[in-house]
Amino acid sequence: MYSEQVMDHFINPRNVGEIENADGVGQVGNAKCGDIMKVYLKIENDIIVDAKFKTFGCGAAIATSSMSTELIKGKSIHEALKLTNKAVAEALGGLPPVKMHCSVLAEDAVKAAIEDYLKKQGRTE
């Protein structure tokens, strides 16, 4: 049912935790399934130097949170804003159709954290 990559990121999630005084924080949830994702970003000169997450949810929610933080670390905020749920799912070797909403949450949480950063900076782009 799940790919090796999904199982690896579920059993050994990367970047779990919080960042004290994060430059951007985004939280999203899905009332239908109960998953909640919170992403913390440390940003220097518009480059994401660290990303961490806390997720309450199923294995796919944890795996997509883990992979999304891996995909954006070291990227500019503009590159990270282009992250798609499809890219997260593909990086994990695919997700069952019933679990694709988890990759959407991961994308939305990353974008919410970047939007929070931009808002704190008084910027819109």
Cα–Cα distances (Å) from 16 to 71, 82, 91, 98, 112, in that order, read 14, 22, 18, 24, 18
Identified catalytic residue from 7, 16, 25, 33: 33
The catalytically annotated residue of 22, 102, 105, 110 is: 102
Residue 108, helix vs strand vs coil: helix
d(CA 108, CA 23): 17
66 with 15: CB under 8 angstroms? Answer: yes
Q: Is 58 assigned a catalytic role?
A: no
Neighbours of 62 (CB within 10 A): 24
Residues annotated as part of the active site: 33, 102
